[in-house]
Amino acid sequence: MLGLGAVGVVAGSRVQDGLDAALAPLQRLDPTGLSGLLPGNYFRIYTVTDGYPYESDTNYRLTVDGLVDHPTVYTMADLQAMPATRLVRTFQCVTGWRVDNVHWQGVALSVLLDKAGVQTAGKDLRFESFDGVYTESLTLAEAYRPDVIVAYSMLGGPVTQEHGGPVRLYVAPMYGYKSIKWMSRIQVVDRVEPGYWETVGNYAVEGWIGDSNGY
Amino acid sequence: MLLRFDWVERVVHWVNATLFGVLIFTGAALYLEPIGRLIGRRALVEDIHVYCGLALPVPLVIALSGSWGKALRADLHRFNRWTKEDRDWLRALLRAGPERRRSLGGIRVGKFNAGQKLNAAFIAGSGLVMLGTGVIMRWYHPWPLTWRTGATFVHDWLALAIGLVIIGHIWMALMDWDAMRSMFVGTISRTWAKRHAPAWLDGEDGPPAPER
C-alpha cells in the first residue's frame, strides 16, 4: 500500500495524463455529468476572500495608473476592441495540480503599458483585484513578455466568475498564483511589492514554473 | 453478553469516525467547486482539513501506547493474522446463491472475518498514503513539481476509493444492527458470536471473549 502510494507520487503525473486521455471520450458520452466528479486535471477554484467577487461586463473597469504619462480606465468593450492575443498553454498550480491545453484570449499586457506610457521611474507593476485583498506583482521586463496577457476569455468562453472574470491576468510562464483573478487595477510603481500569496503563502515573488518555490 | 469492544476501542473508533467525517466534508469543499462556493472561507477549510489529517493517527497511537490499550492491541494482532479460514471465507464469498451461504456458514471465523481484515488493512495503509501525499501538497517546497502533481493524483483517487470503502463500511453496519450496537455500548450477544465469530467465542484466535 505504501509502496503503491510512493509509485503513485513519482509516476502519478504521467498516469493522470494517460487516464485523462482514456476517460475523455467516455466523459463526452456521459449524459449524467457524474463522471465529472472523477479526479482529473481540473481547475481547483481558489478565492482569498469568503466568496467570489462579482462584477458585470458592463460595469467592469480596468484602471492603468501610477508612474505613467496617460492614466487610463478601460471598459470591457475597450479591451475587446484591441488586438487580441491567443494562447494555448498549461495552467500549473504551485501545489501540484495542472490543467493542460487551456485556451486563453486577451490583450497583451505590453499593449496596455505602451498606451499608458511608462515613465523612466517605473520599474515594476502592482496588480489589484476587486475582491479587495488579492494583489500581485511583476517586473516591467516580465510584463513585456508576449505570453503575459490581460485575459477576458479562457476555456473557450468568457472568463467566468469563479475563474476570476470578467477580466483576469494570465502569466503563462509562472505558477497560477501570479495570474491574479478579478483584476481591476494595474499600477506602475518603482519597486516590487510582494503580493497576497507571496506574503500569506510564502511563495516566491518570481514564480517561474519549475524554477522557483523549491524545484 | 460478551464484551466485543472496550471503551478505549469505542472512543478511538468514534474519534476516528469524526475526523474522517470532517476530512471528507472539508475535502469535498476543497475539491468540488459547487460545495466550495456554498461554504467559502477556503483558507479556513484548508487549515481544518490539514490539521484533522495530521491528527488522524493520534487517537490510535495514544490508545496503543498504554496499559489501557490491551484489548485494542489484541484486536490488532487478530487483524494482522491471515489464516486458512480467511482464504476459505473469501473463496466462499465468490460463490453464488445458496451455495455461498452454505459454505460461509461452515467456516470457523474469528473475531473479524477476512472482509473486515482487508478493510482494516486498506484504511490503515491508505491513511498513511493520504498523510504522506497531503504533506507533499501542503508543504510542497522540498519536492519536485512532478511529485506534487503525482501526490495530487494519488490523494484525489485514493480519497474517492476511501469514500466508497467507508460507504461500504457504514452499509455493512446498517445491515447488522447487533454488530453496530456493540460499537456504541460495547457488548454483543452470545448467539451473535456463535453465528458470526465462533472461533472468537472459543478463544481460538486470541484471548476468549470476556463475559459482561
Q: What's residue B23's pLDDT?
A: 97
Domain range annotation of chain A: 1-41, 53-200
- Categorize the per-residue pLDDT at B13 as very low, low, confident or very high, splitting at 50, 70 and 90: very high
Using 50 as the pLDDT threshold, list the residues of chain A that sit under it: none
- The pLDDT > 70 percentage for chain B reads 100
Note the pLDDT tens digit of each residue in B68-101: 999 999 999 999 999 999 999 999 888 877 888 7
Domain range annotation of chain B: 2-201
Q: Which residues of A touch B121 (CB under 8 A)?
A: 1
What is the C-alpha to C-alpha distance for residues B166 and B134, in angstroms, rounded to an integer?
19
- State pTM to two decimals: 0.83
Q: What's residue B141's pLDDT?
A: 84
What is the C-alpha to C-alpha distance for residues A100 and B138, in angstroms, rounded to an integer?
22
Report how many Cβ contacts below 8 Å link chain A to chain B.
116
Q: What's residue A201's pLDDT?
A: 77
**Chain B residues with a Cβ under 8 Å from any Cβ in chain A:** 30-33, 36-37, 40-43, 121-122, 124-126, 128-129, 132-133, 136-138, 140-154, 156-160
Mean pLDDT of chain B: 92
- Categorize the per-residue pLDDT at B9 as very low, low, confident or very high, splitting at 50, 70 and 90: very high
Alpha-helix runs per DSSP H in chain B: 7-31, 33-39, 42-55, 57-64, 70-79, 84-94, 97-105, 114-138, 145-175, 177-185, 190-196, 198-201
Homologous superfamily of domain range A53-200 = Oxidoreductase, molybdopterin-binding domain (3.90.420.10)
Q: Which CATH number fits domain B2-201: 1.20.950.20, 3.40.50.620, 3.40.50.150, 1.20.810.10?
A: 1.20.950.20
Question: Nearest 5°: phi and psi at B47?
Answer: -60, -45
Q: Stretch B121-146: mean pLDDT, rounded?
A: 90
Q: Model ipTM?
A: 0.75
